[in-house]
Structure 1
């Protein structure tokens, strides 16, 4: 009985959506990299730091997750990523402006 449920879940969640699952897992991996980059940077500095790569991985992973949400379609994922993408983009803009010395 349990194997019937596991097999049904496998086909509903993975087997019938092979390329979409691979894309979704890639999106999650990209998004997770931001935490790894932030953690390594903080350990090296001996204090909490937020490297620029954190925002690039956030933007890339967030965009991929939003595409995944559209392909599923999953309103919860889309609704969670849209405002976050605005924040990631804004932070990258502020960093670029600061490096140029403009306000």
Structure 2
């Protein structure tokens, strides 16, 4: 590697380390989709968002930990500023039943 090329590579590396990762522009749908809804809501709130839930499937009486995120809508598409309220809408699908099969149980014995 030539001296000039090595110097350029070093500057690019140093710049990336100093600047850190680029901030996410708005709520990142791709990383939240499919996650348990409680974890996704907590993550968005930690980033400063106000979260509204759209119940798109299943029972809304289920705990969010049993539900999954199917989408995130961030109308502003910009990260929240300190002291402001930026609302994102999280689409959540929950189980349609309690897992009790067809509503009856049979025992042998």
TM-score by length of 1: 0.32
Whichever of the two has the greater Rg, that structure is: 2
Which structure features the higher share of helix residues? 1
Larger relative contact order (Cα-Cα within 8 Å, sequence gap ≥ 6): 2
Which structure features the higher share of strand residues? 2
